[in-house]
Amino acid sequence: MRTLLFLSEMSKIATDDYVGFTFFVGSMAMMAASAFFFLSLSQFDKKWRTSVLVSGLITFIAAVHYFYMRDYWDAFAESPTFFRYVDWVLTVPLMCVEFFLILRAAGAKKSLMWKLIFWSVVMLVTGYFGEAIAVGEPTLQWIWGLISGIAYFIIVYIVWFGEAKKLAESAGGNVLIAHKILCWFVLVGWAIYPLGYILGTEGGLFGMQLVSDIDAAQQAMNVVYNIGDAVNKIGFGLVVYSLAVNSSK
Ligand SMILES: *C/C=C(C)/C=C/C=C(C)/C=C/C1=C(C)CCCC1(C)C
């Protein structure tokens, strides 16, 4: 009886449901990554533990949101936009904190962290307006997307060429290498998201709609976002993890 109940509450994932599939695999990958980061903590020098702890928090927060998003998608076959953006608004600022933490020894100030957090919140809130509030208004959608993109480029600038870059250079060694790789994640890995936005919104690309079938557009967007999350959250965490391993020897 119990098994029957359990099975009836469980949902099938159709073989062509790529969104459901990537939500499911995503939640497992995020869970596994969190366990990996948390369980590794004791092997590091004290000063690296916070950074690895934050890596674990990022994937853990994502894992929990993925469970909700998977269920939401399953129940309504609709983008779980709200959960998506709550997840991002918690995890992306934490990724900004990672930049600060690895550069702290080189003298990074809290103001650098707050600057990055500020622009990341601007990027996400305007993205949310475009995706959730401006539905049916293609012009507004690309304008919000553009403002979000400008905030994104400010972050790219700060980490690649601005204050963060200078601190990384003065730190040198393993920190400089890790910083460089994180910079590439921000430039290439994070660029996956505006691509999802363009595919998924009616007016995302300066008023143009690339995928005209609304369901197909939503599916493409969610698969792209899910790939982006796995690459960026787990990848970012692993870079910080390797830095901690190499610096704790
Ligand atoms: C773990 C989640 C991460 C790293 C999410 C990052 C999200 C972005 C970089 C989103 C950027 C967007 C734009 C640059 C323009 C269109 C709207 C967004 C919010 C999708």
Quick one: which atom of ligand 1 is closest to the CA of 130?
Answer: 17
Q: What is d(CA 226, CA 232) in angstroms, rounded to the nearest whole number? A: 10
From 34, 65, 94, 152, the mutation candidate for ligand 1 (largest count of ligand atoms within 8 A of CB) is: 152
Distance of CA 187 to the CA centre of its chain: 13
Residue 28 in any domain: the answer is yes
Asked if the model's pLDDT at residue 210 lies above 50, the reply is yes
From 84, 86, 148, the mutation candidate for ligand 1 (largest count of ligand atoms within 8 A of CB) is: 148
pLDDT score at 16: 86
Residue 230 in any domain: the answer is yes
Residue 9 in any domain: the answer is no
Asked if the model's pLDDT at residue 243 lies above 70, the reply is yes
* Residue length of the chain: 249
Residue 7 in any domain: the answer is no
- What is the per-residue pLDDT across 82-112, written as a single tens digit (0 to 9) for each? 999 999 999 999 999 999 999 998 999 999 9
Residue 208 in any domain: the answer is yes
Quick one: which atom of ligand 1 is closest to the CA of 62?
Answer: 1
Q: Is 126 in the pocket of ligand 1 (CB under 6 A)?
A: no
Domain that residue 58 falls in: 14-248
Closest by alpha carbon to 158, among 95, 238, 204, 205?
95
pLDDT score at 249: 78
pLDDT above 90: percentage of residues in the chain: 90
* Mean of pLDDT values over 196-222: 93
- What is the per-residue pLDDT across 174-192, written as a single tens digit (0 to 9) for each? 999 999 999 999 999 999 9
Asked if the model's pLDDT at residue 11 lies above 70, the reply is no
Residue 2 in any domain: the answer is no
Ligand 1 mean position, distance from CA 189 (Å): 10
Q: What is d(CA 42, CA 81) in angstroms, rounded to the nearest whole number? A: 37
Asked if the model's pLDDT at residue 226 lies above 60, the reply is yes
Do 89 and 227 contact (CB within 8 A), yes or no?
no
Please list, residue by residue across 19-38, b when 16 or more beta carbons sit within 10 angstroms of its beta carbon and e when fewer do: bbbbbbebbebbbebbebbb
* Mean of pLDDT values over 31-53: 96
pLDDT score at 238: 98
pLDDT score at 212: 87
Q: Is 145 in the pocket of ligand 1 (CB under 6 A)?
A: yes
Q: Is 91 in the pocket of ligand 1 (CB under 6 A)?
A: yes
Quick one: which atom of ligand 1 is closest to the CA of 196?
Answer: 20
Count of domains observed in the chain? 1
pLDDT score at 1: 46
Q: What is d(CA 121, CA 112) in angstroms, rounded to the nearest whole number? A: 14
Q: Is 233 in the pocket of ligand 1 (CB under 6 A)?
A: yes
Residue 8 in any domain: the answer is no
State the CATH number of the domain containing residue 78: 1.20.1070.10
Residue 1 in any domain: the answer is no
* SS3 annotation, the chain: CHHHHHHHHCCCCCCCCHHHHHHHHHHHHHHHHHHHHHHHHHHCCHHHHHHHHHHHHHHHHHHHHHHHHHHHHHHHCCCCHHHHHHHHHHHHHHHHHHHHHHHHHHCCCHHHHHHHHHHHHHHHHHHHHHHHHCCCCHHHHHHHHHHHHHHHHHHHHHHHCCHHHHHHHHHCHHHHHHHHHHHHHHHHHCCHHHHHHHHHCCCCECCECCCCCHHHHHHHHHHHHHHHHHHHHHHHHHHHHHHHHHHCC
